[in-house]
Amino acid sequence: MSVLKIEGLRKSFHGHDVLKGIDLEVRSHEVVCLIGASGSGKSTLLRCVNLLEEVDDGAIYLEGKEITDPRVNVDDVRKRLGIVFQAYNLFPHMTVLDNITLAPRQVHKVTRKAAEEQARTLLARFGLEGKADAYPDQLSGGQQQRVAVVRAMATQPTLLLLDEITSALDPELVVEVLGVIRELKATGMTMVMTTHEMSFCREIADTVCFLDNGVLVEKGAPERIFTDPEQPRTREFLRSVLESGRF
């Protein structure tokens, strides 16, 4: 079953084409990794899916329903999507528990008791026991990013979008956040993520998509993309990544 389908997606800013006719399909329980150089359009693509950016042309479908239709209720769509950015975006004046339960209580109308029970279960599942009453500035960067993932999961999203969630972390903190993503994959969570962690991408992805200058140049299984890419631009990109020691 197709959870997400993107057809001919185009987006420009001030006359500069950022996305040039993207076609992509994500099936239930699939993990799709978007790779490419900075400025290739990866983050803009995720922002379009979450309707944070208005598309110029093309269509996006979530479980068969076009969400780019102007008549669609944007808030209703976002209830079914979870998104985590590289900046944690936690509310600094709220405890971890309040950060996690805010959307379930205010948007999904879950009772405080039920929301808090679910939040504590998720915190325990991702190694954050005892942090419910802490404030964000009392946590490490890795812990804050894990809380951000837990907050996204607390709304039980149909699709989880992850935008370079390890890029702002020190190397030793990256490992703990990537462990959370492995756990989510094991549970069958459908995810689309942008990442510069090529080894992790090769391990976790079902499908890898290489974007370059707003074009989806190549997509396929990770083993093929990383060992025998068909397109010269893909080979060039991966060679530069290898030479830089980021693989």
pLDDT digits (tens, 9 = 90+) for 201-225: 999 999 999 999 999 999 999 999 9
Contact (CB, 8 A) for 213 and 182 = no
Contact (CB, 8 A) for 60 and 234 = no
Structural domain spans, the chain: 2-243
- Integer distance in angstroms from the first to the last C-alpha of the chain? 32
What's the rounded Cα separation, in Å, for the pair 72 and 59? 12
Q: Which range among 66-70, 132-136, 239-243 shows the weakest confidence by mean pLDDT?
A: 239-243
CA angle in degrees (0–180, nearest 5) for 192-196-197: 90
Range 90-95 contact pairs with CB under 8 angstroms and sequence separation of 24 or more: 90/136, 90/144, 90/147, 90/148, 90/151, 91/136, 92/135, 92/136, 92/137, 93/135, 94/135, 94/136, 95/132, 95/133, 95/134, 95/135
246: confidence class by pLDDT, cuts 50, 70, 90: low
Amino acid 166: pLDDT: 86
* List of residues 6+ apart from 27 with CB closer than 8 A: 1, 2, 3, 190
* C-alpha closest to that of 224 among 238, 211, 243, 214: 238
User: What value does the mean pLDDT take over residues 38-42?
Assistant: 94
The chain-wide mean pLDDT, for the chain, equals 93
* C-alpha closest to that of 163 among 61, 19, 63, 35: 35
**At the topology level of CATH, where does 2-243 sit?**
Rossmann fold (3.40.50)
Q: What is the pTM of this model?
A: 0.92
The yes-or-no verdict on residue 177 having pLDDT over 90 is no
